[in-house]
Structures are given as C-alpha cells and as structure tokens.
Structure 1
Amino acid sequence: MKKKRAIVFSGGRLGEEDLQYIQPEDFIIGADKGALFLIEHGIIPHVSVGDFDSITLQQKEQVESASKRMIACDPVHKDLTDTELALEIAMDEQVDHVLMLGVTGTRLDHTLANIQILVRAMQHRMSCAIMDAHNYIELTGSTLEIKPMGYTYTSLLPMTAEVTGINLEGFMYPLHNATLKMGQSRAVSNKLTALKGTISIESGLLLVIQSKD
C-alpha cells in the first residue's frame, strides 16, 4: 500500500512556520542541514540523507543518533545533490506526493537545480511541489487544478522549448489553445478569479508558480 506523502526538509531557507505542514502520516526526510533543523525542533526524520558538509561533526552525530535511519555520502564523490538524494528515497518509498521545503534560498544554482528535479518526479509518475514563504511551485504535462492557497499570482513558464495547447479557466486572463515558448513572459502574474482554476496543456512541460510578495 502506498504511503500518502513524503515531506522533504532540505538545507535551504527554513523557518518554524514550515513545521506546520507536517501531517501525522507523512514520511519525513531530512536532507543535510534540513535534518538538523528537524531534530532541533523535536521532529524525528524517518531518513536523514546527505554529505552533511554544512554542519559540524558534533551536529552530524546528533543527526545520526536522533534519526530513524541515516544515509551519509562522501561530499566529493557523489553525483546527486542532497535534495535529489532525498527525492530518490521518496521514490523508493513509492509515495503518491512529495512536498519539498527548504530547497530555495540564496544559492540560485541549487534553487534552479531543485526546480528541475520536478521533472524527475514527473517521470516517475509522482506529483511533487516546492514550497517556501512566497512560492508554491508545481510542474504539469497535462492538467493541473489550482485552488486558493493565499497566493496572489499564478505564473506559467515553459520548461520545454515550447508548450502548446494551453487552456486556462477560472483566471483573470484566460488562455485558449495558446502556445508559450521558452523566453516568453506573457503568462506571468495571472490571478485566480474563481474557487478553483484549471490549467491544461497538450504538449510540453509547464512550470506553474503561485506566488506572493
């Protein structure tokens, strides 16, 4: 039987407010400094994973002793980022959905890499979302339903050279059989006007970002 959801706490920007998103049946994964964050707030990760190069040796020992399971890897000889390792674990657990927290921050390279990780989740037929204090990020290759979550804007950005057959319902600026090409910004800063919105596409991969200032 599949677990309902995995929640990943990575080593980017995290705050106590992020703990509110943990549900009783979540499979909790701490990636690198994200594992320490959980333990310092009284949350026991099911798995802690990473090279742990952003914490001290004493903190690493704290993570190891408090986690149900720990997977440590060499900081040099590894092919995956800590967040991607966490996603691999979620895939192994065969969850239906992954929520990733602490995967955005000051390192733009890590932020962009983590956004691209959404493609890997989709390839494994697993829904995945990134959340921080100002954004909720999803990827779709077919249909996505948008509900009010306290965000002001909904923006669409192509993750492939072009996305075709885009239809929007329930938004201030509807689209009908539209095409977006990489580098175009015509679908930025739309607004939900109904109790729910629907985004559907025919081909390509579309990044959907709900955001607020």
Structure 2
Amino acid sequence: MRAIVFGGADIDDYSFCKKYINSENIIICCDRGLLHADRLEVKPDYIVGDFDSVADTLLKEYREKNFDIEEYPSHKNYTDLELGINIAIEKGADDIIIMGGIGSRIDHTFGNMHLLYMLLKKNIKACLINEHNYITLTNSKLKLKGDKGETVSVLPFMGDAFGVTLKGFEYPLNDATMKCGESLGVSNVVVDDEAFVEVKEGCLAVMKARD
C-alpha cells in the first residue's frame, strides 16, 4: 500500500505529483503540507503537526469539515514529517512517497534523507521527490527504468559502501568501494534503457537530478 506524505517545503509546479497519486493511496499532510493537498484537490486521510507554518484559515477550514487532525506541541523530539511517516507505517504502508520534503532548508532536507534511512531499515520502499530531484536509498539492488539520458548521482550514505556495481551508466563500476569524503559518483548519466545499482555492504543514496 502506498502512502503519499506531504511536507511543508515549497512546490512550484505540481504537475509531477499527479502521476504518483491515485484514489487508493493514503494521503498524510504534515503541517504546511496541507496546502499542497489542498492545491492538488486531494482529500487528506490524516493531518498532523504542530501547525506553526500552515495558514490558520486553511487549517480551520479542514477542522470545520471534521478531518482527522492530530496536533502536537512545537517542542517535541520529532519533525512534523516524521510524525506523518510514523502514521504511514502504523497504517501498513510499504511504499512511501514524500512530496514537499526537499526545500531551501538544507538541514530539513538532510534530516529527511535520514528518515529514508529509517524506512530502508524497516524494508519500506521510500523516496523524496520534487520538480527537480528524486532521492532514494538502497542497501542491495535497484533498477532504474526509462531513465536514459538522465543525470543520476550515486553516493555512499551513512558510511563507506562496498561491492558497488553500476551498469547502464556512462561511468560504470564493478565491485568497487565508494568512500565517504569523496565525490566519486556525482553526475553520472544513464546510457541504456535500464540501469542497475548494486551494493553488497553499506548504503547508497541514488539521486536523479535536473536543473
């Protein structure tokens, strides 16, 4: 089951969102993420957060319509996005797409990548996406379909990565070691109809990016 989790980072062009969302998804809005669901005319199943960034008028509108809203204090040990992800886990999601999780606040974006790592450890498929980026993590094998010509960066995450193989890329690797503190893996290009990423030990961040 797929969950769409909306965070509060800006989304300027919503066209990319629509191909990921259907009526069978769980929709979870984290604080200002409610704005994105509202603009997409997507009905949220859960609204969660401390609500320090969503417009009061918008939140009031959803309160009056009796949507499921969970409010937390601003002083807490979890970000609003993590609260939303925890709901997705509790509801049995095995595929979580995070929209509004990549923004101008690099600390939030980096923290959200750590949430991807938490989900990876739970064997839950997950990614962060916006108009220009797609970020996911793997600790085994990953196949990229239909991405010929796209720029893809592959970097070690949370430590060195061993036994890294990249196939279908302009710069392939075979059973290589990728070390933290090096830029090897930035701005590779997919040259085949399918590309493959494999790591035997460790974790890789796989990032599609375009200007």
- TM-score interval, smaller chain: over 0.9
Aligned equivalents of 2:31, 2:108: Cα separation in 1: 13
Conserved 8 A contact 1:47-1:67: no
Letter in 2 for 1:8: V
Paired residues, number: 209
Aligned equivalents of 1:142, 1:28: Cα separation in 2: 28
How far apart are residue 150 of structure 1 and its match?
A: 7.8
TM-score (norm 2): 0.93
Aligned equivalents of 1:134, 1:57: Cα separation in 2: 30
TM-score (norm 1): 0.92
How far apart are residue 59 of structure 1 and its match?
A: 2.7
Conserved 8 A contact 2:140-2:199: yes
Matched position secondary structure for 1:44:
coil
When residues 204 and 11 of structure 1 are mapped into structure 2, their CA distance, relative to the original with a 3 A threshold, is: same
State the identity %.
33
Aligned equivalents of 1:187, 1:104: Cα separation in 2: 21
When residues 183 and 43 of structure 1 are mapped into structure 2, their CA distance, relative to the original with a 3 A threshold, is: same
How far apart are residue 19 of structure 1 and its match?
A: 4.0
Conserved 8 A contact 1:44-1:66: no
How far apart are residue 23 of structure 1 and its match?
A: 1.4
Letter in 2 for 1:11: G
The match for 1:178 among 168, 176, 179 is: 176
Conserved 8 A contact 1:163-1:180: yes
> What residue in structure 2 maps to residue 203 of structure 1?
201
Segment of structure 1 superposing worse, 129-138 or 67-76: 67-76
When residues 41 and 187 of structure 1 are mapped into structure 2, their CA distance, relative to the original with a 3 A threshold, is: closer
Aligned equivalents of 1:129, 1:106: Cα separation in 2: 18
Segment of structure 1 superposing worse, 32-41 or 147-156: 147-156
How far apart are residue 152 of structure 1 and its match?
A: 2.3
Matched position secondary structure for 2:163:
strand
Alignment of 1:99-138 (within 5 A): 99-138=97-136
When residues 150 and 42 of structure 1 are mapped into structure 2, their CA distance, relative to the original with a 3 A threshold, is: farther
Conserved 8 A contact 2:149-2:190: no
Letter in 1 for 2:135: I
How far apart are residue 160 of structure 1 and its match?
A: 2.4
> What residue in structure 2 maps to residue 14 of structure 1?
11
* Gap regions ≥5 residues in structure 1: none
Conserved 8 A contact 2:166-2:174: yes
Letter in 2 for 1:128: A
Conserved 8 A contact 2:155-2:184: no
Aligned equivalents of 2:37, 2:143: Cα separation in 1: 31
* Gap regions ≥5 residues in structure 2: none
> What residue in structure 1 maps to residue 2 of structure 2?
5
> Considering only aligned residues, what root-mean-square deviation do their CA atoms show, in Å?
1.6
How far apart are residue 85 of structure 1 and its match?
A: 0.7
How far apart are residue 40 of structure 1 and its match?
A: 4.4
- Structure 1 segments, 4+ long, off by >4 Å, are none
How far apart are residue 97 of structure 1 and its match?
A: 0.4
1:83-133 C-alpha deviation (Å, 9 max, x unpaired): 111110111011120000001111111111011110111111101001011
